Amino acid sequence: MASAAAFIAWIALAGALASFVVGAILAARGTKAGAMGWLAVAVWPFALARVKATTGQSDKLNKALVAMIACLMIAAAAWSAAANLHRFAR
């Protein structure tokens, strides 16, 4: 069971990474390619207000952020379960 929980954690981390990449691509489409624009693309969850002001895709950016946070929460819970199951298996 510990390996199944660890597998779920890795899948959830991959989902979080995919959601982050989608959000970065959406942010890159709307921002200007200046130095601050690329910084906003690299850290788009923290510069969401600035990115939303320049893009018209605020609903898609919100969905990408929610998906990333949900995947991170699932990964944390699955990782915790895997650690507990691995410890109790001994």
Instruction: Judge contact between 5 and 43, C-beta under 8 A.
Output: no
Alpha carbons 47 and 12: distance in angstroms, whole number: 24
For residue 26, count CB atoms less than 10 angstroms from its CB and return exposed for 0-12, middle for 13-18, buried for 19 or more. Answer: buried
Query: Are 20 and 66 spatial neighbours (Cβ–Cβ below 8 Å)?
Result: no
Tell me the mean pLDDT in the region 79-87: 87
Query: What's the pLDDT band for 66 if we cut at 50, 70, 90?
Result: very high
pLDDT tens digits, one per residue of 25-60: 888 877 765 666 677 678 888 877 777 766 677 888
pTM here is 0.80
Looking at the structure of the chain, the number of domains it has is 1
**How many helices, marked H, and strands, marked E, lie in the chain?**
4, 0
Average pLDDT over residues 79-83: 91
pLDDT score, position 89: 58
Locus of tokens 């970065």: 24
Q: Which domain holds residue 79?
A: 2-88
More confident residue, 34 or 70: 70
pLDDT at 75 over 90: yes
Percentage helix, strand, coil, to 5, in the chain?
A: 85, 0, 15
